[in-house]
Amino acid sequence: MASGPSGLLTSFVMLTTLRTLSALARCGAFALTLLLIGLQGASAAQNRIILSFGDSLSAAYGLQPEEGWVALLQRRLRSQGYEYQIINASVSGETSSGGLERLPHLLALHHPAVVLVELGANDGLRGLPLPTVHDNLAHIIMLAKDAGAQVLLLGIRLPPNYGPRYNNGFADLYSELAREAQVPLVPFLLAGVALDPALMQADGLHPRAAGEPRVLDTVWPYLTPLLRH
């Protein structure tokens, strides 16, 4: 052990240095903890994105944007305390093949927590082969899931003039996809709307503004199990 004035001074300096280093280490650990918490919070906030990925049925075709069911969904989420942001990437006229090309960029850009897949109607209206539509939609679902998003598949029905064989096959396509990919399915997006002329536009394909709240009511109970407050 050191003795004498110089020895005492040396011991004092060493003790002070050790205490200082210990305090700095504690401060550093605390700062690192705060940083990690902040990053986790930022990640969670960034992940509260719902990507609406569809065609004219989700793009408020023929209406003001704020009248569409996707815009109404954003308002309902906020009113019920769900802190999610809706990104409506729906495009009128979109097909499953076009959607497949666009999706990777959207996933990388937005990192959505939930993807609402509403595609296939334009494929069906063009009479495209059902296996092609199936494969495109299956790939879209796979991409979204691989990116860490939950998927809600929105089923579509075609007008009766396409014949029962094609129509039935088209309707079954969505239930097959949901079963294969193990994702929830809204059986028919326009349930309670499509056959009511008062709720449909003159083209018989798109809802009027009065029908959009009913579309949202159809989607809502299937979506809420995928959300967190």
Residues annotated catalytic, as ranges: 56, 203, 206
Please give the C-alpha separations between residue 193 and each of 25, 54, 55, 169, in angstroms, as whole numbers.
64, 18, 17, 22
**What is the residue whose two structure tokens read 């990116």?**
147
Euclidean distance between CA atoms 166 and 127, whole angstroms: 8
